[in-house]
Structure 1
Amino acid sequence: MVAERRKGERVTFERGIGAHMMGIDGTWRRECTMDDVSETGAKLTVEGSVEGLHLKEFFLLLSSTGLAYRRCELAWVNGDQIGVNFLRTGDKKKKTMRRAQAAEA
């Protein structure tokens, strides 16, 4: 049994919710199913291979028009399932600043 690493309370969907993953630069797109979600992240089942895709940072599109989306970063991969962390505006800047401060110490 895998230990729960997510901080927030999770909502699990019986059949999953259809969604799409799309590269930040728009160069790739994959269909996926959102199996569960929390305030901080989600578990996705990806259709097709994720090999060669830039998953460091991407969009999870939750609507067919693309109006509902979350900016994500890859947390883990297990076969066709991936875990993602949701990024908030400014998250990348904060992480970069923390790394720079740690390097100075």
Structure 2
Amino acid sequence: MNGIAHYVAAKHAVVGLTKAVAKEYANSNIRINAVCPGATETPNYMRSTGGDVHLLDSMIPMGRIGQPQEVGKAVLFLVSDQSSYVTGSTLSVDGGMTV
């Protein structure tokens, strides 16, 4: 796919920044993590696909795009005490698209 170098560079920057900042703040008991959502049924997704919610289904191992609530639940996990020993991580919420 041509013309996506800027997108890929930005994604890698988020991962690197997350790890670097997590290391800086770990001794202050501040956790830094990133959530990396895949295709998610949002108004922007619907605009970009012409309203076809199933356009990318065949590209996603779980066979469907995500729902906003699923991304929200991942965020809730990371801000909860259940993830008290998690820092510097990137959590992919993408139905297996990046595996």
* Common fold: TM-score over 0.5: no
Relative to total residues, which structure has the larger strand share, 1 or 2? 1
Give the alignment's TM-score, normalised by structure 1.
0.21
Structure number with bigger Rg: 2
Relative to total residues, which structure has the larger helix share, 1 or 2? 2
Report which structure shows greater RCO (CA 8 Å, sep ≥6).
Answer: 2
Give the alignment's TM-score, normalised by structure 2.
0.22
